[in-house]
Every structure is written in C-alpha cells, then in structure tokens.
C-alpha cells in the first residue's frame, strides 16, 4: 500500500509541475527579437492553484507563486491570456524590436509593465 500511495503522490506532483508546458512561439529574426519576462508574484487569491499562460492561443507556461520566465518574441501584437482558478485575464501586448518587457501577472487581471 505505501508504494501505491507514493506512486499516486508522484503522479499528482508531476501533473502540477510548473514551467514550460508547450512550445514557445518561433523567433524569425533573433537580432530584432524582444526579451519578455513573465512573473507571478505572491497573492492570496489562487494560492493553491497554478496560473496557465497562453500567448496567441498557444499554451506556453504554468506558473506557481514567485515563478519567473524569460523568452524572446518577434516584434508584433500578441494576446496574453492567463487563467487562475475561475479567473481568466486577456491582455494585448505590443512588442517592439529589441526592447525588454516585464509582465507581472496577477489573479485580478492587473498587469504591470516596466523594468524588472
């Protein structure tokens, strides 16, 4: 019985893992790509559930509290769509060539942009 409980617990943890959960959008020209960082800070709402982030309907990241990921994006307009529990937030981001973007994702759909 203890071995089966350990296997069940390991399976549950694997299903709850954070990080990259799908392919990043391809970068066509690394010289003009922007650096984007997404960050989920501490908040009581959604404390026990992950935040799933999609960019242009591509599932990309699952973030737990205080997780941060950086990646490259081509210049353009992107739809950032993230869910946490029953909350769904959708924001357009206008990405310019060679810039750095920092998006703090919060369960109340408030997003702050600026330097890290």
Beta strands in the chain (DSSP E): 19-20, 34-40, 51-55, 58-63, 67-73, 76-84, 87-95, 100-105, 111-113
State the pLDDT at residue 14: 42
Report how far residue 14's alpha carbon sits from residue 8's, in angstroms, rounded to the nearest whole number: 10
Q: What is the pTM of this model?
A: 0.78
Strand partners, 36: 71, 101
For residues 102 and 1, the model is more confident at 102
The residue with greater pLDDT, 32 or 14, is: 32
Mean pLDDT of 24-43: 92
pLDDT at 44 over 80: no
Please, is 38 exposed, middle or buried when counting C-beta atoms within 10 Å of its C-beta (0-12, 13-18, 19+)? buried
pLDDT of residue 68: 94
Residue carrying structure tokens 């973030």 = 63
Set out the domains of the chain in order of their start, with CATH numbers.
18-113 (2.60.40.1120)
């Amino acid at each position: 019985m203890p071995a089966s409980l350990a296997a069940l617990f390991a399976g549950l943890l694997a299903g709850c893992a954070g990080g990259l959960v799908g392919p990043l959008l391809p970068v066509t020209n690394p010289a003009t790509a922007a650096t984007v960082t997404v960050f989920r800070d501490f908040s009581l709402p959604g404390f026990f559930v992950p935040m799933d982030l999609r960019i242009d309907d591509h599932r990309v990241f699952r973030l737990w509290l205080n997780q941060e990921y950086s990646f490259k994006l081509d210049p353009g307009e992107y739809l950032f769509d993230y869910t946490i529990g029953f909350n769904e937030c959708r924001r357009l981001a206008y990405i310019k060539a060679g810039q750095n973007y920092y998006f703090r994702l919060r369960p109340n759909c408030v997003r702050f942009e600026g330097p890290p």
